[in-house]
Chains A and B, each alone.
Chain A
């Protein structure tokens, strides 16, 4: 009846080089042992670029460069001058946002609508926000003269490659640290474009170093004795290993790990908006979101009504080409992640939950998973306990507010939660009792650089964003 014609964003705005070296001491260099890996477009499996794999020797060089820059340039530099560089980087990100957005969608698989309207504006906003703090650290509430830590080793995930880079690099640099950052092996390209932006901004050499590679590179980096601070965002499993390796050293550690967030819908909720929030909570970024609202808790007396609306809404989701401006759900980031989502979903069916997806045609090539909900899920099901990190929602019901809170908290994680009700007092009552670092009321997945973000329990420790986000990069 009303078919939307393809509306592809042009990929010619971004110039992808056939191969990339490591960004150490302000320039791109070849890795010592010459190893490399390929980064592919998960929507087509086409190879985008060949990327250097950093070995222990390269990590050594990067940490040494960061140390020298810290000692000689960035550490002694007055905050107001550091701010100038950060403001400059923020502005260049805004100017080149279309290029960055297209590259992010190509490398990650997320819809251009999200990289353009969510990721990139937030990336720039984080740099602007922390640029403002650089010369005001004594007013941040950490004493009269808080000092930076030194060299920060930062390891980030593939779900929001550039945004996680911003969350890590902006506060570290504002506080006066230098960094060595390792992007995820499936999504290194925007970090490498960011390296070019550092050059364009004339950022002093060695302040930002980017070493690409997989788990071994990350391990060499966080275990390097020359780093003063380790910041990691990723899986709880890897987070545990990092915590073990850092234990007993002088390194300061912040971890932002997994989640299994409850999105609680009370019977007096604004249903149409709650349904939007449920969809945004679990299908935003293909569900590759650590704070995704992956457990939907609906009050039993409105469950049928909410589920009917939710299914109708899910049938409107457009799955496909990430570069099409009308795409709502893009590609799963990697074959490995797709396998994990399939395994857990199959376990959901096998354990007796009822599976539903709207009719939807998936492309032949690339990694795809239809938006899926499971109803009849109980707390004992694997899909109610384990993080799926994909477009899969587990639906549970509850009878009373106390039961909702009990179920919401009954998880080893504690990153985020959502509450839907028209009653203000119930929002406050519930939020007080939820053990989660972020609680959204009548909305979900809202981010802002001024707002601290982080978890309870196995979702990690430390806060990123806001004034609180500075603490992890200061000697306080």
Chain B
């Protein structure tokens, strides 16, 4: 295996040079059987995670949250409050860990940066004409550079679905490469918008494309289209990062985003990570939840485990 992995490594770096090579490679990946993938995801969802395992999972999930607000109505006051919550999610219990990152629009980055500076909480900004990505490349790159300059250390870009769905894989690839370069030291998360890719075969191909082009994370969704993260889509993406590491030696993170609202959901994802890619990914550096309302449910369940009683929603901050 090591010998083939090494030779595969050099092969893969050449793929981005030609449309034909990319297409041949992506269409040569093993197919995904829809029924089977959905069944496996559902099966993993029946694991029973209780007591100590649940407590451990909740704290891990909190540390993996990318606390997000992406609204036209976001204001400096709103995002500052969100950043404060990211630092101290449960003011009543200081043993509660901080979240993984705060995720906002580029214009809001400076206000969040003030609050998070030196805290260890990452600052993510969506960019590249989020959520549609329907802007000229120069605009997308300028968007990215501006977000990084304002203090973002993680960039959540969207892939060019228009190019992907019409089969122009090299164009998608080149855009990711260019965005990665514009990021400088910032980590690049590549949003596939799986709800628009529709098939699991497409999800697998887009995952590989994003990884080949240098993405540090692959992310399911913008949260702005009707179908966001699902367990089977995340399963296919986890299989892709697992296989990509086996082939190239490089580890890529995964971020399901949108629609994950409850502790129960979050735990299903953690079980899936655990049993698909293993402990190496059970870390905020390699797995994140893009979510907003999830955090309060995690806090509520955490309080229940420590105190034995449920507190009403008014005991948790609504920022």
- Enumerate chain A interface residues (CB-CB to B < 8 A): 1-5, 7, 113, 117, 268-274, 276-277, 304, 308, 316, 325-326, 422, 442-443
Task: Determine whether B37 belongs to the interface, using a CB cutoff of 8 Å to chain A.
Answer: yes
User: Known interface pairs A2-B279, A276-B39. Does A7 touch B48 (Cβ–Cβ under 8 Å)?
Assistant: yes
A8 to chain B, nearest CB (A): 9
Instruction: Please state if B46 and A117 are interface contacts (CB–CB under 8 Å).
Output: yes
Residues of A within 8 A of B46 (CB): 113, 117, 325
Interface residue? B36 (CB, 8 A): yes
Also in contact, A273 and B37, with CB within 8 A (given A4-B47, A5-B53, A326-B47) = yes
User: Hey, which chain B residues are within 8 Å of A443, CB to CB?
Assistant: 35-36
CB of B78 within 8 A of chain A? no
12 extra interface residue pairs, beta carbon distance < 8 Å, beyond A308-B1, A325-B46, A325-B47: A2-B60, A2-B270, A4-B48, A5-B54, A270-B36, A272-B30, A272-B36, A272-B37, A273-B40, A326-B47, A326-B48, A442-B36
Contacts of B54 in A (CB 8 A): 5
A109–chain B nearest beta-carbon distance, Å: 19
In the complex, whether B275 has a CB less than 8 A from a CB of chain A is yes
CA A391 to CA B299, docked complex, whole Å? 42
The answer to whether B279 and A277 have CB atoms under 8 Å apart is no
With known contacts A276-B36, A316-B275, A270–B53 Cβ distance under 8 A: no
Taking a contact as CB atoms under 8 Å apart, the answer to whether A325 and B48 are in contact is: yes
Q: B20 in the interface, Cβ–Cβ < 8 Å?
A: no
Q: How far is the CB of B59 from chain A (nearest CB, A)?
A: 11
Complex CA–CA separation, A378 to B49 (angstroms): 42
Q: Assess whether B13 is interfacial by the CB under 8 Å rule.
A: no
B155 contacts chain A at the CB level, 8 A cutoff: no
List 22 A–B pairs whose Cβ atoms lie within 8 Å, in order of A's numbering: A2-B57, A2-B270, A2-B279, A3-B52, A4-B49, A5-B49, A5-B51, A5-B53, A5-B54, A7-B50, A269-B30, A269-B31, A271-B30, A272-B32, A272-B37, A272-B40, A273-B32, A273-B37, A276-B40, A308-B1, A325-B47, A326-B48
A4 to B50 Cα, complex, angstroms: 8
Residue of A7, A277, A304 ringed by the most chain B CB atoms within 10 A = A7
**Bound-state Cα–Cα, A442 to B30, Å:** 14
Residues of B within 8 A of A316 (CB): 275
Judge whether A273 and B282 touch: CB under 8 Å: no
State whether the Cβ of B274 lies closer than 8 Å to any Cβ in chain A: yes
A271 partner residues in chain B, CB cutoff 8 A: 30
B31 adjacent to A270 (CB under 8 Å): yes
Contact A442 B239, CB 8 Å, known A2-B282, A325-B48: no
Contact indicator per residue, chain B 85-114, by CB within 8 Å of chain A (1) or not (0): 000000000000000000000000000000
User: CA separation between A316 and B238, bound complex, in Å?
Assistant: 15
Whole-angstrom CA separation of A113 from B46 in the bound complex: 9
**B52/A5 in contact, CB under 8 A:** yes
With A and B bound together, what is the CA distance between A443 and B40 in angstroms? Answer: 11
Q: Cβ of B282: which chain A residues have Cβ within 8 Å of it?
A: 1-2
Provide the residues of chain A in CB contact with B24, threshold 8 Å. Answer: none
- Say if the beta carbon of B199 comes within 8 Å of chain A: no
